[in-house]
Chains A and B, each alone.
Chain A
Amino acid sequence: MQPMDNAYKPHLVTVEAITDETPDVRTLRLTFKDPNVAHAFTFRAGQFAEYSSFGDGECVFCIASPPTRKGYVECSFKLAGRVTTALRDAEVGDTLGFRGPYGNSFPIETFVGHNLLFIGGGIGMAPVRSIFENCLDLRDQFKEITILNGARSVADLVYKQQVAEWERRPDLRCVCTVDPGGETPDWKGEIGFIPTVLEKMAPSADDTYAVLCGPPIMIKLTLQTLAKLGFPPERIYTTLENRMKCGFGKCGRCNVGPVYVCKDGPVFSAAQLATLPPDM
């Protein structure tokens, strides 16, 4: 019988680097232990994986690094439950599990030749970062690129290292905002909720694709703002976060209407979202 193709068996990965993004959000850079897997592994921006600490269980996060940067994958997660506590416990050199990539991805080929607007709220910046940096690595294929990165407070802004880099680049517009009351005395960015700041920025909807991710309430209100700015739902993409276990359409957990978020998503256009029951 053996060896079998066990769809539930993760690849073993080594923690190569740890970055604390905020007091409760950490990024792990992981490399595959098996050189054959490391060589063959590919993914597309927007895809996700099941990350595991053996003995504690598995947890689903998007792959936060762009597919254009080879040799490793990164995940960013907020300290919340048993598995994220265990993943936070992992030190450089420790072994973790990685199962994936799963799900569909952002249609980057469709974005080619157009303006792009990226919007991320809190930890929702993780999937946005993957497709955003993917586009930056292929910068000459796109027209204007704008990114809006928001969080509750200055301390809660993720990817500060990358943001500093993005802010220096002349070929993109990077705006950061914090919720009112979340600013510090020396804060130089915007103060306001993402939909409000977005409305003020008033990006042109002409020839522009929008990508957004964040907490459910932020997605809901930002979709309304984008509609107000004239973005047609077919040109707005977001990625859904549902509780998942298997990652490939068996365990039933992420079923919403006729779709399974794990295999039919996690990336959906606002036009597709509008056809799903309000069950997310």
Chain B
Amino acid sequence: MSQTPKMLKDLGALAGAIMASGVSVVAPSAGPGPSRFRRLASAEELAMPRVNTQLPPKEHLFPPTEPLLRFRYRGTDVELTDPPLPAEKLVLLGVRPCDAAGIALLDAVFLADPTDPFYAARRANATIVAVGCARADDDCFCTAVGLSPHSSYGSDLLLLPAEGGYLAEAVTDKGRQLVAAHASLFTDAASARAAAPPKLQRASLDGVDEQLQAAFADARWAAIAARCLGCACCASVCPTCHCFDIADEASARSGVRLRSWDACGLEMFTKHTSGHNPRPNQPARFRQRVMHKLSYSVASLGRPLCVGCGRCISHCPVGMDIHQAAAQFATSG
């Protein structure tokens, strides 16, 4: 269905209008700690970063810790209660295309049968408004994993930088509904063209999935991962990492079963109680991270489980670089 292109002049005005309609806006904003997506109290708090936030918006759909179940002992019997499902309607505003793609990949995991009820409820209540990138960092490599600074994968509404504002592309029904609900902010702009996306420097990883598979036993993994600390910083800043642990916290009478983010880079992740660890050293664990993201998931999900946001590279305290590691096998076969 062809539509007249629409222009949005001001992102802050959209944030204000959404909030005025009673829907929460979660967007990049200034605040203590790392730059991240926060619930805005007013549209003025919106502060789009030059390139991207330090933390992805993932935590608003898949919180670092959340209850899965509550229990209470009644004699020898036990009473179980489901935690309430999240009901807050929200718009994730100012999501970069890499992070929007990250959400689509979380969907592929959590909405697959059997559906994760907590993620599904948050996801159903969330509308993703992405803003295409005008600039890129040295660590950005979305184009290496089949995306682009202007790709619409995972977005409900995509706003591309253009002369005088943003060119709006409603990608899904949710996006079209959002535009319709705030129609006065979107003006017809038949001749508007989006600015050219920034050029990224890093080489394509197309086809690297097979080369990595062949390189499982390659001796270079030991050298590549020699300095990896196993701190799992990479996983905590990743928009697609979704591994979690489940553990109970309880008093003598009642308690809660919680899930918390976990990571394949941590030694305990696969360690059996017997002491046997299928991935007994850091090179084996770093290799798993690279393999799962760039090789195994191509077979299981149809595309890399990496969106090239570059955060794991920028934030690694010892300069581990997933793109460089994989590219090494791509070029040397």
Query: Which of A's residues lie within 8 Å of B, judged by CB?
Result: 1-10, 12, 52, 54-58, 80-81, 84, 93-95, 97, 215-216, 241-243, 245-246, 248-253, 255-259, 277-280
| CB neighbours of A279 from chain B (8 A) | 278-279, 284, 288
Q: Please state if A7 and B116 are interface contacts (CB–CB under 8 Å).
A: yes
Check if A241 sits within 8 Å of B272, measured CB to CB. yes
Say yes or no: A258 contacts B296, CB within 8 Å. Answer: yes
In the docked arrangement, what's the CA distance between A56 and B247, Å?
8
A54 to B109, Cβ gap below 8 A?
Answer: no
Establish whether residues A6 and B82, one from each chain, have CB atoms under 8 Å apart when the complex forms.
Answer: yes
B82 near A250: Cβ-Cβ < 8 Å? no
Tell whether B2 is near chain A: CB-to-CB under 8 Å: no
Complex: how many Å from CA A50 to CA B257? 13
In-complex Cβ contact of B68 among A1, A8, A80, A242 (8 A)? A8
Max chain B Cβ within 10 angstroms of own Cβ: one of A4, A55, A249: A55
The minimal Cβ–Cβ distance linking A166 to chain B, given in whole angstroms, is 27
A9/B244 in contact, CB under 8 A: no
Interface pair B262/A251, CB less than 8 Å apart: yes
Task: Determine if B270 and A2 form an interchain contact, defined as CB atoms under 8 angstroms apart.
Answer: no
Q: Verify if B181 is at the interface (C-beta below 8 Å from A).
A: no
Q: Which residue from chain B places its CB closest to the CB of A15 in the assembled complex?
A: B76
Is there contact, CB below 8 Å, between B82 and A55? no
- Not counting A2-B82, A52-B257, A97-B80, a sample of 17 additional A-B residue pairs whose C-beta atoms are within 8 angstroms of each other reads A1-B84, A1-B121, A12-B80, A54-B255, A55-B71, A55-B73, A57-B248, A58-B257, A94-B76, A97-B78, A216-B276, A242-B270, A245-B244, A250-B242, A251-B244, A256-B278, A258-B296
B206 at the interface (CB under 8 A from A): no
Q: Mark B225-248, 1 if CB is under 8 A from A, else 0.
A: 000000000000000001111111
Measured between beta carbons, the chain A residues less than 8 angstroms from B31 are none
Which residues of B have CB within 8 Å of A242?
Answer: 270, 278
Q: Are A252 and B257 in contact (CB under 8 A)?
A: no
CB distance from A246 to the nearest CB of B (A): 7
Given contacts A54-B255, A58-B246, contact A6 B262 (CB under 8 A): no
Complex contacts, B114 vs chain A, CB 8 Å: 5, 7, 248
Tell whether, in the assembled complex, residue A6 and residue B272 are in contact, meaning their CB atoms are under 8 Å apart: no
23 A–B contact pairs at CB < 8 A? A2-B85, A6-B69, A6-B117, A10-B69, A12-B78, A54-B71, A54-B250, A54-B255, A54-B257, A55-B73, A57-B248, A93-B76, A94-B76, A95-B78, A243-B271, A250-B242, A251-B244, A251-B245, A251-B259, A255-B296, A277-B216, A279-B284, A279-B288
Q: Which 7 A-B pairs have the closest CB atoms?
A: A252-B243, A55-B250, A80-B273, A258-B299, A8-B68, A54-B71, A81-B273
Measured CB to CB, the nearest residue on chain B to A57 is: B248
Q: Is B77 an interface residue (CB 8 A)?
A: yes
Contacts of A259 in B (CB 8 A): 300
- In angstroms, Cα B81 to Cα A4, docked, is 11
Identify which of residues 81-107 in chain B touch chain A, using a CB-to-CB cut-off of 8 Å: 82, 84-85, 87
Please give me the residue from chain A that is nearest to B79 by CB atom: A12
Name B116's closest neighbour in chain A (CB-CB): A250
Give Cα A57 to B273, complex, Å: 14
Q: Is the CB of B300 within 8 A of A258?
A: yes
| A5-B117 in contact (CB<8A) | yes
A238–B77 Cα distance when bound, in Å, is 37
- Min Cβ gap B295→A in Å is 8
Specify which chain A residues have a CB less than 8 angstroms from the CB of B117 in the assembled complex: 4-7
Residues on B with C-beta less than 8 A from A216 are 276
Instruction: List A contacts of B76 (CB < 8 A).
Output: 93-95
Identity of the chain B residue whose Cβ is nearest the Cβ of A95 in the assembled complex: B78
State whether A54 touches B300 (Cβ < 8 A).
no
CA distance A5 to B296 in the complex (A): 30
B-chain residues with CB within 8 Å of residue A246 when the two chains form the complex: 244, 246
Known A80-B273, A279-B284: A54·B243 in contact at CB below 8 Å: no
Question: Which residue of the partner chain B has the closest CB to A59?
Answer: B273
How far is A64 from B288 in the complex, measured between Cα atoms in Å? 31
Measured CB to CB, the closest approach of chain A to B21, in angstroms, equals 22
Let me know if B177 is at the binding interface, CB within 8 A: no
What are the residues of chain B within 8 A of A245 when measuring CB–CB?
Answer: 244-246, 259, 262
A280 to B292, CA, bound (A): 15
Give Cα A253 to B117, complex, Å: 20
Known: A216-B276, A252-B243. A55 touches B248 (CB 8 A): yes
Contact of A251 among B84, B246, B272, B299 (CB under 8 A): B246
Chain B 112-130 residues near chain A, CB threshold 8 A: 112, 114-117, 121
Which A residues touch B84, using CB under 8 A? 1-2
Task: Determine whether B186 belongs to the interface, using a CB cutoff of 8 Å to chain A.
Answer: no
* Max count, chain A CB within 10 A of own CB: residue among B73, B85, B242, B246: B246
Contacts of B112 in A (CB 8 A): 249
CA distance A12 to B71 in the complex (A): 11
Our pick among B77, B85, B109, B217 for the contact of A250 (Cβ within 8 Å) is: B109
Docked CA distance A111–B124 (Å): 45
Alpha-carbon separation in the docked complex, A216 to B243 (Å): 24
Tell me which of B68, B273, B288, B291 contacts A84 (CB under 8 A). Answer: B273
Chain B residues contacting A6 (CB-CB under 8 Å) are: 68-69, 82, 117
Report Cα–Cα, A216/B291, bound state, in Å. Answer: 23
